[in-house]
Amino acid sequence: MKKHRVVVIGVGYIGLVHIRELRKLPNVELVGVVDKNQDLAKSVAEQYGVTHYPDSESVLGDPTVDVIHNCTPNREHFPLNKAALLAGKEVLTEKPLALSSKESGELLRLAKERKTRCAVNFCYRYYPVVQEARARIAKGELGVIYNVLGHYLQDWLLYDTDYSWRLEPDLAGSSNILADLGSHWCDLAEFITGLKITEVFADYRTTLPVRRKPQDGEVLTFSKTETTNFKEMSISLEDYGSLLLRFENGARGTFVTSELAAGRKCDIEIEVYGSKSSLAWRHERPSELWLGHRDKANELFFESPLLQDEKTRRYARLPSGHPMGYHDAIYNLFADYYSYLESKNDQSFTEYNFPDFEAGHRGMLILEAALASKEKGTWVSVRS
């Protein structure tokens, strides 16, 4: 079995998640890490027994490296993804794919020119029952889709002493929560229903326009602030957002997201209502798929390698009754991606439904429509 030689660039919170899941894959060899925080990178490299590369340029210039995982802040996604493609590397990147649809479109074009499907870590579509939800809708079990409703709520930016690089336009781009949590939910909505979002009407708000940024060391995502040494920072990016949605078949939808929802740690919910029945999935109960009916009792379906649709049961990797979680969803995505690379190399080209640069580009188009809608106060079409 060929082992794909992989380097993770960016070893903060999500980079470490990538490292742990990559090490479980039999066809992957993690060979190195990179981070601008050299002390952190050296520590991680020593912990996992891999090479500490001084910078991304040294990775891209290494002909023995096959794949990079881009776990850097948003502003570095486009230049690094582009440089990796031009260097002949395969790419699995965090979202957003870039900071504009012009940039994401260029990456999509480059990937097509090189006859590869690079991946974006929209991991929530890889819970087993989310895959099952997509399969049931595709088989027509819900009938015509009427409405798609949901939210994505967190509380990690509730206090004015909570801080993240995602609040800084120089690092995050033109959006915080819609580019982050919103992109995940919109990908889920399009993936599960098989329908594209065609128009949006958006509202969003910077609830806390002034925050106090800790001055003692680097602020890590989801970390607890212990310092009393702060600097006041003006905040322009949103911490709340809502979208009215129109889908290509005429279905309507609503989505709300907030990072100031006390008690909600990572609460994702999506509900799909059709002419025959409905379904709903909630991240806080990730192994359950709720099935709603008009003329008989509602049902709860649990992930199962025996009971799921033939196309989705491979994602339920544990015996029925043993729930899978966030790391397992990321593992499922990575497993599909590296299986695709194998099929690409041996010319078998097996079809996988992992989120590729096309999905990443879609996310940018929806985000730009939402930002334009808020400025104009009108519905805005999502460009194709």
Please tell me the predicted confidence (pLDDT) of residue 344: 79
Please tell me the predicted confidence (pLDDT) of residue 230: 85
* Domain 124-329+362-381, architecture per CATH: 2-Layer Sandwich (3.30)
Please tell me the predicted confidence (pLDDT) of residue 2: 82
Task: Tell the CATH superfamily of the 4-122 domain.
Answer: NAD(P)-binding Rossmann-like Domain (3.40.50.720)
Q: Is the pLDDT of residue 223 over 70?
A: no
Please tell me the predicted confidence (pLDDT) of residue 33: 98
pLDDT per residue as tens digits for the range 295-329: 999 999 999 999 999 999 999 999 999 999 999 99
Q: Which residues contact 348 (CB under 8 A, 6 or more apart)?
A: none
Largest Cα separation within the chain, whole Å, is: 63
Please tell me the predicted confidence (pLDDT) of residue 227: 67
Please tell me the predicted confidence (pLDDT) of residue 224: 64
pLDDT per residue as tens digits for the range 277-295: 999 999 999 999 999 999 9
3-state secondary structure the chain: CCCEEEEEECCCHHHHHHHHHHCCCCCEEEEEEECCCHHHHHHHHHHHCCEECCCHHHHHCCCCCCEEEECCCHHHHHHHHHHHHHCCCEEEECCCCCCCHHHHHHHHHHHHHCCCCCEECCHHHHCHHHHHHHHHHHCCCCCCEEEEEEEEECCCCCCCCCCCHHHCHHHHCCCCHHHHHHHHHHHHHHHHHCCCEEEEEEEEECCCCEEEEECCCCCCCCCCCCCCCEEEEECCCCCEEEEEEEECCCCEEEEEEECCCCCCCCEEEEEEEECCCEEEEECCCCCEEEEECCCCCCEEEECCCCCCCCCCHHHCCCCCCCCCCHHHHHHHHHHHHHHHHHHHHCCCCCCCCCCEHHHHHHHHHHHHHHHHHHHHCCCEECCC
Q: Is the pLDDT of residue 132 over 80?
A: yes
Per-residue pLDDT band at 103 (split at 50, 70, 90): very high
Q: Give me the chain's average pLDDT, please.
A: 95
Q: Is the pLDDT of residue 348 over 80?
A: no
Q: What is the mean pLDDT of residues 359-365?
A: 98
Q: How many CB atoms lie within 10 A of CB 159?
A: 14
Q: What is the mean pLDDT of residues 351-370?
A: 95
Per-residue pLDDT band at 347 (split at 50, 70, 90): low
Contact criterion met (CB below 8 Å) for 119 and 355: yes
Q: Is the pLDDT of residue 225 over 80?
A: no
Q: Is the pLDDT of residue 217 over 70?
A: no
Give the up-direction half-sphere exposure of residue 123: CA atoms within 13 A in the CB hemisphere: 21
pLDDT per residue as tens digits for the range 7-54: 999 999 999 999 999 999 999 999 999 999 999 999 999 999 999 999
Structural domain spans, the chain = 4-122, 124-329+362-381
Per-residue pLDDT band at 349 (split at 50, 70, 90): low
Q: How far apart are CA 240 and CA 175, in angstroms?
A: 11
